[in-house]
């Protein structure tokens, strides 16, 4: 089960993979990405991830890219790796050219992919829940585009770890709760699940959409609306959602206990429903 990389059509051991120093993703963060998880040797939500990748490129005025060809290459790479539980990382930059802020002329985009095994560092984490801190959201104004410009997310995650917590939750300057450092956020408040509405302030998560679909199936009331930090603190349940995160309960925020301090029934039910989807796809 080798961990492999792909660069512009070539597959190689991941340790042998390098990119040119003048790649615009490296020098400007001028690149987009996706991460697809696999379960039981099968990639999950492939169509949805590639649709979002295509949208990200279109929003940034990338040259036209044949997304179907990249999808086929990802499948080939994943097939050669033969890793049942893997993270397939796909990154597309605007290309390689002498450093200049202006877009280059007609040059090919650069496509880089890796396949790595997902290591479950704490398999009991969904049974115990996690602690989190809140942090001011200093990210750029287009968080709906999945770019590699993740320095604020990296800083937020590290501040959480330095505080002895697992993750950070972004809160806007005017007090609106956004999402986690690499995940969307739901709370149970007033008998309903509440999550930030789709806007330029948050990522349109693939797992977020699956959770909303599951809620519709199970007749769980949901509101997509803004809420502040006081409502976050008073929520009965809080959980994060994401491709690798799945459904991850939060039981403490800024040193305050969420609900009764234990993993709630809504998070458990939706995690079970999500895993059921994974097995049936």
Per-residue H/E/C for 40-109: CCEECCHHHHHHHHHHHHHHCCCCCCCHHHHHHHHHHHHHHHCCCCEEEEEEEECCECCCCCCCCCCCCC
Q: Which of 79, 109, 118 is nearest to 91 (CA)?
A: 109
Residue 232 backbone dihedrals phi, psi, to 5 degrees: -60, -45
Given 3.30.1360.40, 3.20.10.10, 3.30.460.10, 1.20.1050.40, which CATH number is that of 125-280? Answer: 3.20.10.10
Q: Do domains 4-117 and 125-280 have the same CATH topology?
A: no
CA distance 45 to 39: 11
The pLDDT assigned to 61 comes to 97
The pLDDT assigned to 1 comes to 67
Which of the residues are catalytic? 146
CA distance 225 to 64: 35
Task: Identify the helix (H) or strand (E) that includes residue 210.
Answer: helix 206-217
CA distance 15 to 3: 9
In the 8-state DSSP scheme, what is residue 89? Answer: E
CA distance 154 to 61: 26
Residues β-bridged to residue 130: 250
CA distance 31 to 16: 21
CA distance 276 to 159: 34
The pLDDT assigned to 138 comes to 97
3-state secondary structure of 115: strand
Domain 4-117 has CATH 3.30.590.10: no
Distance of CA 39 to the CA centre of its chain: 17
CA distance 139 to 172: 10
* Strand ranges (E), 83-236: 86-93, 110-117, 130-136, 167-171, 177-180, 184-189, 192-195, 222-224
Can you give the pLDDT of all 281 residues of the chain as single tens digits? 689 999 999 999 999 999 999 999 999 999 999 999 999 999 999 999 999 999 999 999 999 999 999 999 999 999 999 999 999 999 999 999 999 999 999 999 999 999 999 988 787 899 999 999 999 999 999 999 999 999 999 999 999 999 999 999 999 999 999 999 999 999 999 999 999 999 999 999 999 999 999 999 999 999 999 999 999 999 999 999 999 999 999 999 999 999 999 999 999 999 999 999 887 77
Distance of CA 36 to the CA centre of its chain: 9
With beta carbons less than 8 A apart as the criterion, state whether 182 and 245 touch.
yes
Q: Where are the domains of the chain?
A: 4-117, 125-280
CA distance 56 to 72: 19
Residue 71 backbone dihedrals phi, psi, to 5 degrees: -65, -40
């Amino acid at each position: 089960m080798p961990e492999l990389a792909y660069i512009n059509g070539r597959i190689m051991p991941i340790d042998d993979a390098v990119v040119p120093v003048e790649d615009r993703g490296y020098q400007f963060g001028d690149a987009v990405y996706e991460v697809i998880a696999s379960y039981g040797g099968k990639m999950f939500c492939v169509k949805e991830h590639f649709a979002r990748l295509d949208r990200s490129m279109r929003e940034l005025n990338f040259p036209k890219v044949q997304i179907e060809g990249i999808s086929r290459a990802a499948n080939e790479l994943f097939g050669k790796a033969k890793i049942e539980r893997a993270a397939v990382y796909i990154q597309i930059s605007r290309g390689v050219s002498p450093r200049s802020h202006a877009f280059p002329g007609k040059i090919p985009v650069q496509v880089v992919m890796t396949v790595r095994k997902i290591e479950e560092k704490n398999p009991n984490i969904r049974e115990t829940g996690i602690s989190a801190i809140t942090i001011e959201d200093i990210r750029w104004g287009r968080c709906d585009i999945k770019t590699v410009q993740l320095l604020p997310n990296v800083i937020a995650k590290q501040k959480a770890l330095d505080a002895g917590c697992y993750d950070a939750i972004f809160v806007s300057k005017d007090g609106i709760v956004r999402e986690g450092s690499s995940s969307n956020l739901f709370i149970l408040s007033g008998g309903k699940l509440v999550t930030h509405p789709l806007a330029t302030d948050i990522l349109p998560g693939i797992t977020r959409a699956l959770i909303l679909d599951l809620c519709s199936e199970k007749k769980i009331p949901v509101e997509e609306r803004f809420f502040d930090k006081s409502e976050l603190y008073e929520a009965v349940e809080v959980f994060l959602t994401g491709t690798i995160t799945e459904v991850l309960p939060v039981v403490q925020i800024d040193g305050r206990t969420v609900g009764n301090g234990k993993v709630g029934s809504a998070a458990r039910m939706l995690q079970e429903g999500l895993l059921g989807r994974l097995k049936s796809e």
